[in-house]
Amino acid sequence: MHIAILTFEGYNELDSLIALGVLNRVKTDDWRVTIATPGPRVTSMNGVVIEQMSTLEEACAADAVIVGSGIATREVTEDPAIMNVLRGLDPSRQLIAAQCSGALVLARLGLLDDIPACTDLTTKPWVVAAGVEVLNQPFHAKENIATAGGCLASHYLAAWIIAHLGGNDAAEGALRYVAPVGEKEEYIERAWRNIAPYLPAPAPALA
Q: Is residue 206 very low, low, confident or very high in pLDDT (cuts 50, 70, 90)?
A: very low
The mean pLDDT of 152-169, rounded to a whole number, is: 95
Instruction: State the average pLDDT over residues 71-84.
Output: 96
Taking only the tens place, the pLDDT of each residue in 1-35 is 999 999 999 999 999 999 999 999 999 999 999 99
Please return the burial class of 82, using the count of CB atoms within 10 Å of its CB with bins 0-12, 13-18 and 19+.
middle
The rounded Cα 79 to chain-centroid distance in angstroms is 21
The answer to whether residue 182 scores a pLDDT higher than 90 is: yes
CA atoms of 48 and 45, how far apart (whole Å): 8
Report the percentage of the chain scoring pLDDT > 90. 96
Task: Quote the pLDDT of residue 200.
Answer: 80
**What is the model's pLDDT at position 24?**
96
pLDDT for position 127: 97
Per-residue model confidence (pLDDT) at position 26: 95
pLDDT (0 to 100) of residue 204: 43
Distances (CA, A) of 189 to 22, 104, 179, 185, 197: 16, 29, 11, 6, 13
Confidence of residue 207 (pLDDT cuts 50, 70, 90): very low
Give 134: exposed, middle or buried? Use CB within 10 Å, 0-12, 13-18, 19+. buried
Report the alpha-carbon distance of residue 191 to residue 77 in Å, rounded.
Answer: 30
pLDDT mean over 151-156: 94
pLDDT tens sequence across 81-91: 999 999 999 99
Mean pLDDT of 140-167: 96
Please, which pLDDT band fits residue 202 given cuts at 50, 70 and 90? low
| Amino acid 151: pLDDT | 92
pLDDT tens digits, one per residue of 97-138: 999 999 999 999 999 999 999 999 999 999 999 999 999 999
* pLDDT value at 205 more than 90: no
